[in-house]
């Protein structure tokens, strides 16, 4: 069964799909170990962790593709990638979709922001004309080799244009062939429910954990989201913000140690070396070496 088919079967189930946001090997391994079958590779998380820059259009198509390819190569998770705006026009989207499909992803999200795009919860967003995005969706749908490779169409129109414009756009994107719909930065439960009942394809939303500086999507329990018609919910920043908090605490402890006269071990802040190895497939690597090793030649 293809990864796209597995993704569609997950969304065809009776329960809301919970989609952790991952961005590197550690986060993918943790999500898989926790028992999840699906995850989305956060474009913001990749930009921040791999490039060290906020999600403001710095990350290139190649940067994103190679990060996603690396995760897909080792993980059994069903993975949705973040294709930003498609890195150009509708013709460009054709090649972007094929590249992510070839890289082992189950689906790709394309959004209707202008370039350079920005995180959906940042101020100053703008969107391209609806018809231009419709053509991008059509191009994405036509480009896939596997008809089950999932095209998720995202709109950021709710902020700059209003909720009705967002609904209209999602309906147009569904007509163009998108398999999943994503309305970003909706500001109330009422807006989420209105969008969910107004569109013909499964709706996904995200929960902006860790954003406190401005109005953002309220935190709503998945069971409640399911009750109001949402098919899937992403948590794109939960792991990355928690990881930064953990590293901040560790650096504080490191600085404290350097300021004193004796080393201070902080096992409360650190996983053990053995646990780190277990998480990152050490036993599998040892088994492969033992299976195929033929000995070491040291000379006559």
Over the stretch 245-268, which tens digit does the pLDDT of each residue have? 999 999 998 888 888 888 878 888
pLDDT tens digit string along 78-104?
999 999 999 999 999 999 999 999 999
Report strand pairing: 232-235 vs 38-41.
unpaired
> Token pair of 139, please?
């191009």
pLDDT bracket for residue 297 (50, 70, 90): low
pLDDT tens digit string along 197-233?
999 999 999 987 655 555 578 889 999 999 999 999 9
Q: What percent of the chain has pLDDT over 90?
A: 79
CB 174, CB 199: distance < 8 Å: yes
pLDDT bracket for residue 278 (50, 70, 90): very high
- pLDDT, residue 258, reads 87
Of residues 68, 31, 30, the one with CA closest to residue 46: 68
Q: What percent of the chain has pLDDT over 70?
A: 95
Q: Which CATH superfamily is domain 3-243 in?
A: Phosphoenolpyruvate-binding domains (3.20.20.60)
CA distance 64 to 111: 15
User: Domain-by-domain residue ranges, the chain?
Assistant: 3-243
Mean pLDDT of the chain: 93
Kind and range of the H or E run holding 161: helix 158-161
CA distance 185 to 208: 8
Q: For the chain, what is the largest distance between any 2 Cα atoms, rounded to a whole number of angstroms?
A: 79
- pLDDT, residue 211, reads 56
Per-residue pLDDT, averaged over 169-182, amounts to: 98
């Amino acid at each position: 069964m293809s990864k796209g088919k597995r993704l569609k079967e997950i969304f065809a189930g009776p329960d809301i799909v919970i989609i952790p946001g991952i961005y590197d090997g550690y986060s993918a391994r943790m999500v898989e170990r926790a028992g999840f079958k699906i995850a989305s590779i956060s474009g913001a998380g990749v930009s921040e962790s791999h490039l060290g820059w906020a999600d403001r259009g710095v990350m290139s198509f190649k940067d994103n593709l190679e990060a996603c390819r690396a995760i897909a190569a080792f993980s059994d998770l069903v993975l949705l990638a973040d294709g930003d705006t498609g890195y150009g026009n509708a013709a460009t989207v054709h090649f972007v979709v094929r590249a992510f499909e070839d890289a082992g992803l189950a689906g790709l999200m394309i959004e209707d922001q202008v370039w350079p795009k920005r995180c959906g919860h940042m101020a100053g967003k703008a969107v391209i004309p609806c018809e231009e995005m419709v053509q991008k969706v059509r191009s994405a749908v036509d480009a896939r080799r596997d008809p089950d490779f999932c095209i998720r169409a995202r709109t950021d129109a709710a902020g700059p244009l209003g909720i009705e414009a967002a609904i209209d756009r999602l309906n147009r994107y569904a007509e163009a062939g998108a398999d999943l719909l994503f309305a970003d930065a909706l500001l109330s439960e009422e807006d989420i429910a209105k969008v969910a009942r107004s569109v013909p394809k499964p709706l996904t939303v995200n929960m902006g954990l860790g954003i406190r500086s401005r109005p953002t999507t309220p935190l709503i329990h998945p069971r409640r989201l399911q009750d109001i018609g949402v098919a899937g919910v992403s948590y794109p920043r939960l792991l990355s913000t928690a990881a930064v908090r953990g590293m901040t605490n560790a650096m504080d402890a490191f600085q404290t140690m350097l300021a004193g006269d004796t080393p201070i071990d902080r096992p409360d802040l650190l996983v053990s070396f053995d646990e780190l190895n277990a998480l990152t497939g050490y036993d599998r690597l040892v088994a492969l070496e033992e299976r195929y090793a033929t000995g070491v030649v040291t000379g006559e």
